[in-house]
Each structure stands twice: as C-alpha cells, then as structure tokens.
Structure 1
Amino acid sequence: MLSRYTTVRQFGSKEIVIKKSRFIGYAKPVTTEEEAAAFIEEIKKQHWNATHNCSAYVIGERDEIQKQSDDGEPSGTAGKPILEVIKNRGVKNVAIVVTRYFGGIMLGAGGLIRAYTDGAVIALEAAEEIVQVLHREVIVEVDYTWHGKLENAFHQREVRLGGTEFTDKVTITCLPEAEEAERFAAWITDLTQGQANIVLGDELYCIEGE
C-alpha cells in the first residue's frame, strides 16, 4: 500500500463560461473502473442535450487504469487535457467529466485544450483535493494507573487516536503513520516500563491534517 497519495474528498462541480460556451466540470472519487464508468454515464444522462461530455479517470496505486474520451471533440483536445491535469497534479482514484454547451463561437484546438484543462482544474477544486496517509493501529492495553500519563504523553506528541475503551483495563487505539508503528510501540513500552500490552492492528488511510 502507498504510504500516501492525493485524491479528492467528495463529488464536486463548478462552471465557467469561455466565449459563450458553458463548461461544467465534475469530479468524483472512484476506486474501480465500473464506478468511473457509472459516474460518467450519470453525467451524460443528466446533460443528454449537451454538445459534449468529455471525460478521463485514473485509478490504482500506480495509476494502472487510465482512460479518456473526447466525446466528439477534435482528437486530443478534450479527454487528453483532462487526463493530463489529473496526472500532473498527482491525483489518484478520481474521475472527471467536463460538459460543454456550445455557445456559437469556435475556440480552435488550442482554445479547446485550455478550456478543458480549466474545466478539469475547477472540478478538482470543487471536489477538494486531499492527501490520504497510511496509518496503522497500535492497540495499547494498560491498567488505569497509566491512563493519565499516557494521555499527557499523547497530547504532547499530538498522537492521532482512534478511540478509548474502559473495562477492567484501559484500551487505547493509537494511529501512528504505518512506517512509524513499530517505533511507536517501542516508545509506549519504554514509557510504561513494559507494563502495557501492545498489539499492532490493521492498516488504514486517514486524511492528512485531520
């Protein structure tokens, strides 16, 4: 699994007008090619009377799945610019559709490339780019006598926490970055003088800065 990657938080859309043509950019997080195809089809149905619904998507840890469509625009003037925006910004697991309603003024090949580039950019901005960082659960079980000390230590170190359970003992789920998990566990062992029961749990992605 990647230690970190950029994607989008949610569905988003935004519109711009260029020489009387309306360009509406849509972006959505997707994890499979089927999800991407369904999203594109949904936008096409919504804008069945649009002049064009051009699209691109990139899926996979190593961008294994890439596809783009000019949807009737001159070859290379729509789908490819959208795809290039995704790749240049390093965004993964995202699909973008840029819908165009022709306004009567020809844009030319260069104008179309710029317009679809801008449409893809505003779509990503509307969907909000985020960074997903790989973390790993470090589950710490201690007697109640250690709870206060651990709380203070976690606060000072700004440790990401997944939750705390109070039974006959205190069980705290910590979420350090995956590559730091073993060192983090060793730190807890030292901090508690070997009195903590520590289990390394699942890996999961968390949004950076949240």
Structure 2
Amino acid sequence: MSEEQPGSRASRYTVLPATAVDRPVVHELEIRRSRFIGHLVRVEDEPQARAFISDLRRKHHEARHACSAFILGADREAMRSSDDGEPAGTAGLPMLEALSLRETGPAPDTVPAPESPGTVVRDLSDVCAVVVRYFGGTKLGAGGLVRAYSDAVSATLDRARLVTRQRMVLTGVEAPHAEAGRWENELRTAGYPVQETRYGARAATLVVALPDDGRSTAAFGARIASITAGTAEVQTLGTEWVDLP
C-alpha cells in the first residue's frame, strides 16, 4: 500500500506486480546476430527508474547501447525515453510507444457485445523498460531498429504478469465494544473485509477499504445503516493505493 498520488484523476491503472520491483522481467531476442535483451521493472519515481537504467549500463558495459523508456503515475504524467546513441527516434520512442499503447484489458464495468471488441484500456504505468543491445555486425537500418526495439519491449511484456492498482477510500465505523464483533462479522458476510479494528477507550473503529469509484461508499453506507439500525455513521479516514489480487 502507498500514499495517495495527489491530484490524480485516474482511480485505477495497471502495473507490474510488486515482485517486479526487485526481480525484473527479462527476455532476449536475436535479430540478424544482434542481441536485444529486454528488461522491465516496476518503479515509483524517476530517480528509481534512472538508477535501474544506470545499473544495467554498468552491468552490460560491453554492450553498444542500453536504450530506455519509462512511464510514471496514475495519470501517466511522466513519460521519458532515450536512444542512448542509436539514431534519433529509432529506439527510445518505439519502446515508449510499446509501453504506452499496451492493451491492458477492457474498460471497467463494460461487457463487450459478441460483435464488438468493446473499449480497450491502455493504462500501464510505473514501469521502466531497458533494452540492452549487443551489436552483431549487421546494420538494421532505421526501420529495422524501430521494429527491433519495439518488439523487444512487447515480447518482454508478453512474459510479464500485470495487476490492477486501485485507489481505495479508507472508511471508519465507530462501534460500541459490545457490538464490534457482531458488526464485523456481518460486514464480512456482506463482502466487506474489515482491514483492522482499532480499539479505543470508549469505542472500537472498524476500518474498511472501498474502491474510490463514486458508488461503493454510498452502497457501504446503506449496508452500515442496515446493520446498525441507523445508529452508526461512516467516516472517511483517507485514501491509499492498493494492488488488487
């Protein structure tokens, strides 16, 4: 879990799983004797992305190029790329397009008709891609380089698991100590997992995380009113980002 990204318009987006922070996804293509080694890592900010790029350059110091692209933020407000010595526009930009145009699924709450593909979502973010190239002696030309770097990122993405990152509203319901257990059980039965119960001197607070989608909080309020016979109120405690299972 992490703190809210201030001002973000999106309430959900797609990321690599948390395991990809320390264990990048790696895949290699050989194209006309050149080796293109794709790396994907999950990052939280630009310094972390640039540190990963620098580490790979040091690790592959004998390689001709280590081209890169990354996207950051729920609204994908930061997009950067580098050709790292390849002809301008033949490496970093195609890599960035492979990330930004990646289809991550249908739009939430839409069920495509059989004859229609539905609305496609492209919302991959918090990701850094680096393609290390070991030159094989044969020049590929501008078009060949564009395809090679784009394909290297796409093929690596094909081997990556993606998850949804959802902005959640943390809500609190104050319960008398004698009722806290019953209310918690009824909430769990209704499909609202209680994240924690905070016991105070006079009452307990049941903490429940709800999707920040404009509908879930109202539905939760109605359920609380039913469980507590209208004696309890739902308080907003804050927001946080959570990777959905």
Which of the five TM-score ranges fits, normalised by the shorter chain?
0.7 to 0.9
SS across alignment from 1:205: strand
CA gap of 1:176–1:56, structure 2 versus 1, over 3 A, is same
SS across alignment from 1:41: helix
Q: State the alpha-carbon separation in 2 of the partners of residues 153 and 173 from structure 1.
A: 11
Query: In structure 2, what is the equivalent of residue 177 of structure 1?
Result: 211
Contact 2:26 2:37 in 1 (8 A): yes
Q: State the alpha-carbon separation in 2 of the partners of residues 50 and 186 from structure 1.
A: 61
Does 2:106 match 1:100? no
SS across alignment from 1:175: strand
Q: CA deviation at 1:120?
A: 1.4
Q: CA deviation at 1:54?
A: 0.4
Contact 1:96 1:123 in 2 (8 A): no
Gaps of 5+ in 1: none
Q: State the alpha-carbon separation in 2 of the partners of residues 105 and 134 from structure 1.
A: 48
Q: CA deviation at 1:126?
A: 5.2
TM-score normalised according to structure 1 size: 0.85
Query: In structure 1, what is the equivalent of residue 242 of structure 2?
Result: 206
CA gap of 1:161–1:113, structure 2 versus 1, over 3 A, is farther
More helix by share: 1
Q: State the alpha-carbon separation in 2 of the partners of residues 153 and 139 from structure 1.
A: 12
Q: Taking every aligned residue pair, what percent have the same amino acid on both sides?
A: 32
Query: In structure 2, what is the equivalent of residue 135 of structure 1?
Result: 168
- What is the aligned residue count? 208
Map 1:111-122 to 2 at 5 A: 111-122=144-155
Query: In structure 2, what is the equivalent of residue 78 of structure 1?
Result: 91
Q: State the alpha-carbon separation in 2 of the partners of residues 33 and 125 from structure 1.
A: 24
CA gap of 1:114–1:78, structure 2 versus 1, over 3 A, is same
Task: Give CA deviations for 1:34-73 in whole Å, capped at 9, x if unaligned.
Answer: 2222221121111111111000112234333222111122
CA gap of 1:154–1:63, structure 2 versus 1, over 3 A, is same
CA gap of 1:121–1:164, structure 2 versus 1, over 3 A, is farther
Contact 1:142 1:197 in 2 (8 A): no
Contact 1:138 1:185 in 2 (8 A): no
TM-score normalised according to structure 2 size: 0.74
Q: CA deviation at 1:124?
A: 3.6
- Of 13, 29, 43, 1:17 maps to 29
SS across alignment from 2:190: helix
Paired letter, 1:102: F
Gaps of 5+ in 2: 1-7, 103-122
Q: State the alpha-carbon separation in 2 of the partners of residues 190 and 152 from structure 1.
A: 10
Contact 1:142 1:195 in 2 (8 A): no
- Of 148, 156, 168, 2:190 maps to 156
